[in-house]
Amino acid sequence: MSTPSTTLIKSAASPLTIGVLAFDGISPFHLSVPSLVFGDLHKYADTPEIRLRVCSQAGTAGNHKIRTSAGYTLETKYGLSTLRRADIIIIPSWHEDLRTTPDELIKLLRVANKNGAHIVGLCLGAFVLADAGLLNQREATTHWALAQEFASRYPQVHVKPDVLYVDQDKITTSAGTAAGIDCCLHLLRTYFGAELANQVARRLVVAPHRQGGQAQYIEQPIPVLASDDRLGKVLHWMHSHLDQTQTLDMLANKALMSRRTFTRHFQQLTGTTVGKWLLHQRLNYAQRQLESSRQTIEEIASAAGFGSALLMRRYFAQVLKISPSAYRLQFRGTADAP
């Protein structure tokens, strides 16, 4: 679920500092997620400068050793003094006993939020943001297994237990484990555009964009059937023919399924509905074309399957909170293709 109030895409001339909190007992996987997404961007051509800083809870600079839950120790030279200066602050998880957040960290997050930093709580990191009061009267998510505990502890927060991530006004929370990758890719897309996010996703061999409102988990395992292979081929066809009208009956026929069976299998496989999946594929395609091509907005709208520029503008405003022309302007410096 993503409802950013403004588009935050940064220019290549404006370095971005991302601070990631590390603490004794942290899971190496959770700590690695922001590094996987943001740490190697220098490998890609024409990418902006990003300074990724893993920061210990120690308040001063110097070498800090951090014991991980896997039994080995990491070392970082950055502390809270670096974290408080970051443009994006990521709390990648929290202690499994859900201990109360230290006052120093709460104060840091409140001040950073007031000063315009983007605050992110991945998985149990949402508990830290809630302790700081940053989620009051907001929607938020966390790992589904602890959603009930979260809702009980923070009744002033509107918990969305079934979604991958929630992004509202530079406060972002995500579900557990792999959803942290989806959330970080969403942030990369928000700040630097769809094309770079897609390149990083390909390197990580993950889906380039799973919308925040998709389900965290599937309640019943999907059996490996011949129908799954048929559905996979239909998904490929849908993605390759975005410019064409795609009705539910047509797609069900291609999958050799009834409409009802196709709808059920599609939701199990993708975590979302046919209509929502198609919309986000079309938006993703339009974003990439606006970033890199000189096609007119009318041409892009037609190729993406929106049917008209008016309809594409409506969905851009509704989902991305920006017009296609303004989106293109942030990448090209000119809205030369109306």
Which residues pair with residue 249 across a beta bridge?
none
* Digit-coded pLDDT (tens) for 249-277: 999 999 999 999 999 989 888 878 999 99
Average pLDDT over residues 223-241: 75
pTM of the model: 0.71
Confidence of residue 119 (pLDDT cuts 50, 70, 90): very high
- pLDDT: which is higher, 2 or 171: 171
Res. 223: pLDDT tops 50: no
pLDDT given for residue 269 in this prediction: 81
Q: At what angle do helices 324-332 and 274-292 cross, to 10 degrees?
A: 40
Instruction: Give 1's pLDDT tier (boundaries 50, 70, 90).
Output: low
How far apart are alpha carbons 30 and 50 in whole angstroms? 20
